[in-house]
Amino acid sequence: MIRTIMTAMALCMAMTFTANISGLDTTCKGYGQGRQVDENNRPYGAIAFNDELGCYDCRAILDDDKKICLTFDQGYENGYTASILDTLKDKDVKAVFFLTGDYAERNKELVQRMIDEGHIIGNHGMKHKSLPTLSPEEAKKEIMDLHEFVKEEYGCEMQYFRPPCGEYSEQSMAICQQLGYKTMLWSFAYQDWDVNNQPDPEEAFERVSSAAHGGGIYLLHSVSATNAEILPRVIDSLREQGFELGLPDS
């Protein structure tokens, strides 16, 4: 009898979950902040994303005109994360690390260090699947499988989600919100992920530093040798420009 009641309750919750998002737009969109900026160096693409989907707790740029938030996507380990963590600790900067399921499972010492040193662990999908290509229940599973693993393994309740591939739809963002997540995209990114074609450190430093803007959410990849090398100088430069580096407000 108890099992029957529990099964009925689970079915009812699933039906409610699907009904609440069934009428929303499922068009898959690829996010990019673009190169056009306003008078404060804030990308129009990020501002437009906030205007479009802010009602679903989605942000591509923060409201704080003095803060920049550093975020790192952790798809796989390439030997530079420890150095990045060393720099953040030395510079007294907290960041957000978006983990895939594979990373969370394979790199427990590094993940635990992130948590112990006060960084935020974010959800980047259990299998890094594009949410708009999934059914609502599949999307929920993609998010919550990793959520439950991290909660059980590390005792950490994640609250920020970054869409794999930067792909989203109105429906997928509403699903994230229903699951208790805030979606964080970015207002700065550059081509740093190709380990076989790393950007020149001096050119990268100039590009990353010159893009500084209030409310900035920087997307960096920890697989990048260039990022690991320039990060100390980048942090110093952003601070010299008058910005604080820190975590997003909850």
Closest by CA to 123, choosing from 137, 138, 103, is 103
Say if residue 220 is exposed, middle or buried (CB neighbours under 10 Å; 0-12, 13-18, 19+): buried
Contact 175, 197 (CB under 8 A): no
Closest by CA to 178, choosing from 8, 22, 9, is 22
221 included as an active-site residue:
yes
Closest by CA to 48, choosing from 63, 59, 40, 57, is 59
Among 119, 124, 147, 221, the one annotated catalytic: 221
Closest by CA to 187, choosing from 81, 73, 31, 29, is 31
Among 57, 73, 119, 147, the one annotated catalytic: 73
Record the tokens describing residue 9, joined without a space. 């309750």
128 included as an active-site residue:
no
Closest by CA to 145, choosing from 130, 163, 158, 135, is 158
Catalytic residues: 73, 221
